[in-house]
Chain A
Amino acid sequence: MLVALMASACFAEDITDAEAVLRADGTPGDPEYGAYLAQECAACHLAESTSAVPSIAGIEPGYFRMAMAEYGSRIRENAAMENVARSLGDEELAALAAYFATNQH
Chain B
Amino acid sequence: MEFSRRQTMQIAAAVGAAALSAPNIARAATPKLVVVGGGTGGASVAKYVAAAAKGAVDVTLVERNPLYMTCYFSNLYLGDHWDFDRLAHNYEAMKAVHGVNVVHAHAQSVGDGAVTLSDGSTLAYDRAVVAPGIDFKYELYEGFDEEIASTLVPHAYKSGNQLLLLKQQIMGMEDGGTVVIATPPNPYRCPPGPYERASMIAGWLSKHKPASKVLILDPKSKHSKQGLFTEAWNRLYPGMVEWVGGDFTGGALPVVDAKNRTVITADDEEFEADVLNFIPAQKAGQIAIDSGLTGDGDWASVDPMTLESTLVPGVHVLGDACANGDMPKSGFSANSQAKVCAQAVMAAMTGKKAFPPRFRNTCWSLVGDDYGIKVGANYKAGDGKIEKTDGFISQTNEDDATHAATAAEGFGWYEAMTSDIFG
A residues bordering B, Cβ < 8 Å? 32-33, 36-37, 39-40, 42-47, 49, 51-53, 78-80, 82-84, 86-87, 89-92
How many residues of chain B get a CB closer than 8 Å to chain A's CBs? 34
Determine if B138 is an interface residue (Cβ-Cβ < 8 Å). Answer: no
B412 lies within 8 A of A53 (CB)? yes
Known pairs A36-B343, A39-B48, A46-B415 / 12 extra A-B pairs, C-beta < 8 Å: A32-B353, A37-B355, A45-B416, A52-B405, A52-B412, A79-B376, A80-B376, A82-B392, A84-B360, A90-B1, A91-B2, A92-B1
- Residues from chain A with a CB closer than 8 A to the CB of B378 are 83, 86-87
- Residues from chain B with a CB closer than 8 A to the CB of A36 are 339, 343, 355
Across the interface, name the chain B residue whose C-beta is closest to A95. Answer: B355
Cα–Cα distance between A91 and B355 once the two chains are bound (Å): 12
Determine if B420 is an interface residue (Cβ-Cβ < 8 Å). Answer: yes
Residue among A36, A47, A90 facing the most chain B CB atoms (10 A cut-off): A36
Q: Mark B100-135, 1 if CB is under 8 A from A, else 0.
A: 000000000000000000000000000000000000
B392 lies within 8 A of A52 (CB)? no
B374 lies within 8 A of A79 (CB)? yes
A-B contact pairs, 27 of them (CB 8 A): A37-B355, A39-B339, A40-B336, A40-B360, A43-B362, A44-B362, A44-B412, A44-B413, A44-B416, A46-B412, A49-B415, A51-B412, A51-B416, A52-B405, A52-B409, A53-B409, A53-B413, A79-B376, A79-B392, A79-B394, A80-B376, A83-B360, A83-B377, A83-B391, A84-B360, A87-B389, A91-B1
Smallest beta-carbon distance B327→chain A, Å: 14
Known A79-B394, A80-B409, A87-B360; judge A33-B355 contact (CB<8 A): yes
- Residues from chain B with a CB closer than 8 A to the CB of A45 are 416
Task: Give 7 closest A-B pairs by Cβ, nearest first.
Answer: A51-B412, A53-B412, A52-B408, A89-B1, A79-B392, A87-B378, A52-B412
Cα–Cα distance between A32 and B355 once the two chains are bound (Å): 9
Determine if B158 is an interface residue (Cβ-Cβ < 8 Å). Answer: no
A83 lies within 8 A of B416 (CB)? no
Determine if B260 is an interface residue (Cβ-Cβ < 8 Å). Answer: no
Cα–Cα distance between A71 and B413 once the two chains are bound (Å): 19
- Residues from chain A with a CB closer than 8 A to the CB of B417 are 43-44
Q: Mark B335-361, 1 if CB is under 8 A from A, else 0.
A: 110010001000000000101001010
Per a CB cutoff under 8 Å, which of A32, A33, A43 touches B420?
Answer: A43
Cα–Cα distance between A36 and B352 once the two chains are bound (Å): 12
- Residues from chain A with a CB closer than 8 A to the CB of B419 are 46-47
Q: Mark B389-416, 1 if CB is under 8 A from A, else 0.
A: 1111110000000000100110111011
A37 lies within 8 A of B358 (CB)? yes
Determine if B332 is an interface residue (Cβ-Cβ < 8 Å). Answer: yes
Smallest beta-carbon distance B7→chain A, Å: 12
Cα–Cα distance between A11 and B358 once the two chains are bound (Å): 31
Across the interface, name the chain B residue whose C-beta is closest to A52. Answer: B408
Known A49-B412, A82-B392, A91-B1; judge A43-B335 contact (CB<8 A): yes
Cα–Cα distance between A63 and B221 once the two chains are bound (Å): 46
Residue among A43, A84, A90 facing the most chain B CB atoms (10 A cut-off): A43
Cα–Cα distance between A33 and B343 once the two chains are bound (Å): 11
- Residues from chain A with a CB closer than 8 A to the CB of B48 are 39
A53 lies within 8 A of B336 (CB)? no
Cα–Cα distance between A39 and B339 once the two chains are bound (Å): 7
Cα–Cα distance between A91 and B7 once the two chains are bound (Å): 15
B416 lies within 8 A of A80 (CB)? no
Across the interface, name the chain B residue whose C-beta is closest to A91. Answer: B1
